[in-house]
Amino acid sequence: MQDSPLGNLKVLDMSRVLAGPFAGRLLADMGAEVIKIEPPERDITRNWGKQIGGISGFYHQQNAGKKNLCIDLKQPSGIQLLKQLVKKADVLLENFRPGVMQKLGIDWPTLHAINPTLVMVSISGFGQDGPESTRPAYAPIIHAETGSILRQAEKTGGAEKEMSMAFADTNAGLHGLVGLLAALLKRQQTGVGQQVDVSMVDAMLINDEQTNFFLDDVQVQTGASEVWSATGGPIMIAGDFRHIWRVANKQLGVKDTSAAATSLEQKISLRRAAFQNYLQSFNNRADLLDALDSANLAFGGVYNSSEFLKNSATLKHRASIQQVDDRAGGTRPTFQSPYRFSDSVSGLNKGAPHLGEHNRSILQQWLDMDLKEIVSLEEASILQQQIP
């Protein structure tokens, strides 16, 4: 029987919005028991997207597979309850602004003393210490300051605008996950946990192959892939045009109309025009794609997201979109994590939780707490719940 890769891992997820919850969602897909610790005022993403069964689309995607424990951490008894849970946990995820955990009395030195085997992943904009550590940081701020927004505008010839997705958040979440797994491996060797400090700035830069050139004070345009007008709609062809032209000329028979005396600028213009005409010369899209494929050119149709999700053969083959209980008597489509193991079970198996949905079961299972004690916490509003 196949087991989940992280089936014995117990995770407390105190993070909000995207970077931390994204890492927690992936841990849940790989079999970890992930408990989302959510305040009574709720994660703001519960308001983002279509509401089905009292759960928004955004919150559902980033928190599917988790359990939910709603604790009021503004009350000392709430902090004490969290510390009891930390004693039982392997991992704690948090993405508060640096200093918040310390104010709550649950910073790394405190939690490490309570549970020396704990691994804590702390994701922030600019790191846990340093001159900018306490700045509020969201993905658009990181995109702007690291140069991504300006380079995007320069490349497209458009205005400086926010990017099409929260790269800084998802980059930080993924690197947080890598750091966490490394720290867990180290714990196997030493028996001691540690804090993993991940900054969105560092994660953005290490994932941006273009920024590397600025370290040498040069700007290099690598692989200047372009979108071309073609039969059946626009098409992206990857690679520098010099390579594409050699292939088009020698393998696809596109004629070079330039002469020996033609200037370089005019020669490039004529070759580009010839290739453009070739792409538009086909009677149908299938014949065009067959020709490009025969020349081993890398290409892709330019689709909107809805078209791709509906028509991708790869998504269908890999079952990349799963139908999950929508908490309203039906199902809702949800993206599967990208991991496919040869000898382990991994993947989505349930939707996102309601606020405080698992309060009682978590405290009974993790802390052996009796019902009378749990009820007293509910009556004191230390534990709260909101189920439609």
Catalytic-residue membership of 169: yes
Backbone angles phi, psi at 328, to 5 degrees: -135, 25
Q: Which domains does the chain have, with CATH numbers?
A: 10-213+321-379 (3.40.50.10540), 226-307 (3.30.1540)
pTM of the model: 0.91
How far is Cα 329 from Cα 56, in angstroms, rounded to an integer? Answer: 16
Cα 340 to chain centroid, rounded: 17
Residue 172 · residue 198 · CB < 8 Å: yes
pLDDT of residue 214: 79
State which residues of the chain have pLDDT below 50: 1
Instruction: Extract the tokens encoding 349.
Output: 């198996």
Backbone angles phi, psi at 180, to 5 degrees: -60, -50
pLDDT of residue 1: 43
Torsion of CA 106, 111, 112, 115, to 10 degrees: 180
Quick: pLDDT tens for 275-330. Answer: 999 999 999 999 999 999 999 999 999 999 999 999 999 999 999 999 999 999 99
* Beta bridge partners of residue 197, listed in sequence order: 122
pLDDT of residue 222: 53
pLDDT of residue 154: 86
**Annotated catalytic residue within 43, 72, 90, 169:** 169
CA distances from 388 to 193, 258, 331 (A): 39, 71, 17
